[in-house]
Structure 1
Amino acid sequence: MSYLSTLSANQKAQIRNAFTLIDGESRDSNITKDDLVKLYSTLGLKAPTSSQLTDMLTIDGQDRSESGINFTQFSNILAKELSKFEDKSIIYDALKTYSDRENLKTFKDELQIDVNVLKDACCSVQLGEIGSGDQRLSRAKFDQLVEGFVQQQMDGKQIFLASKWIDAYID
């Protein structure tokens, strides 16, 4: 699937600028291991290992570390990554309906939801087709899915840390 059609003109221009910056002085229209090492050096960062560089230049299981990746490949990678932000924001917006409106913060901050309110909602929804039997999410399974993302408040209330959960689980 090509994600390029989902990009705005401004995003495409930014991707072109990023590609040109990374391609660096070689201007060979490919991002190579050498280009990445030079970029890290320019930024004053420790260069990734050879295997990390190979991972960065592997597309759909194909090692492109020798030939590099071209602009179209680079654009598709970034467009795919940018599409994840949209997916995350849809889930975030859905979870916002369960938050205390007065404590609502921006997406970069923590969205906190009363875990019991969310559990009641999630465990009351029929998951299968109508007539296929009761296929609701069990309360035990819900607890398992949010484990590590629930914080006990001083007043005894349990809060689901939705933003952290989204970052951990939504690709």
Structure 2
Amino acid sequence: MLALNTLSNNQKQQLRNAFTLIDGESRDSIITKTDLINLYQQLGLPVPLDDQLNGMLKNSEGINFAQFLQTMAEELLVFEDRNTIYNALKLFAEEADYNRVSEELIIDVDRLKDACCSVQLGEIGSGDHRLTRQTFDELVKGFVLEQTDGKKLFLTGKWLDAYID
């Protein structure tokens, strides 16, 4: 329910319009597999496999507007979380290291580590609750590209895909 509270009235109305569009000609207030197939065909897109369609419908015969609204609100929260983290990480990418085509941020790992490991995570006066350098290294393991000059780069997009989506 928390996700629904984050939607504005305008967003709810836009989602109502989208629901009506997807519901299609049946106008039965339920999005069914047939509705999804018709939508993909009308858009000229390849129709997903049966198991993918079932996944969209959460393996039920169909979803009503309340279920659709809840699902979309949850998806929008993930999108917001991703954008927030992306924008925070963007602060560590120098202008020259920002690939505008792919929007991939290229960040010096040591610079990011210094910043992340210097922030106090607990309440003031509750002891030292900083992220250790060893824990940081574990969290970014597999998402670091070491260059020939010894510089290590954090692969932001891959990390976000793995942890946020």
The interval holding the TM-score normalised by the smaller chain is 0.7 to 0.9
SS of the residue 1:111 aligns to:
strand
With over 3 angstroms needed to count, the CA separation of the structure-2 counterparts of 1:127 and 1:9, relative to structure 1, is closer
**Match of residue 77, structure 1, among 71, 81, 86:** 71
**Match of residue 141, structure 2, among 137, 147, 169:** 147
Q: How does 1:1-150 map to 2 (within 5 A)?
A: 1-8=1-8, 11-42=11-42, 43-49=44-50, 51-58=51-58, 65-66=60-61, 68-105=62-99, 109-150=103-144
> Which moves more between the two structures, 126-135 or 95-104?
126-135
For residues 12-51 of structure 1, the C-alpha deviation after alignment (integer angstroms, 9 at most, x for no partner) is 44423321222122111110122223333443414322x4
Gaps of 5+ in 1: none
Give the residue type in structure 2 aligned to 1:29.
Answer: S
Question: Is the 8 Å Cα contact of residues 31 and 69 (structure 1) preserved in structure 2?
Answer: yes
Query: Once the two structures are aligned, what percentage of the paired residues are identical?
Result: 60
> Which moves more between the two structures, 27-36 or 16-25?
16-25
With over 3 angstroms needed to count, the CA separation of the structure-2 counterparts of 1:151 and 1:20, relative to structure 1, is same
| Residue equivalent to 2:159 | 165
With over 3 angstroms needed to count, the CA separation of the structure-2 counterparts of 1:106 and 1:73, relative to structure 1, is farther
Aligned pair count reads 164
Gaps of 5+ in 2: none
Give distance in 2, aligned partners of 1:117 and 1:26: 56
With over 3 angstroms needed to count, the CA separation of the structure-2 counterparts of 1:6 and 1:106, relative to structure 1, is farther
How far does residue 105 in structure 1 lie from its aligned partner after superposition? 5.0
Give distance in 1, aligned partners of 2:95 and 2:121: 28
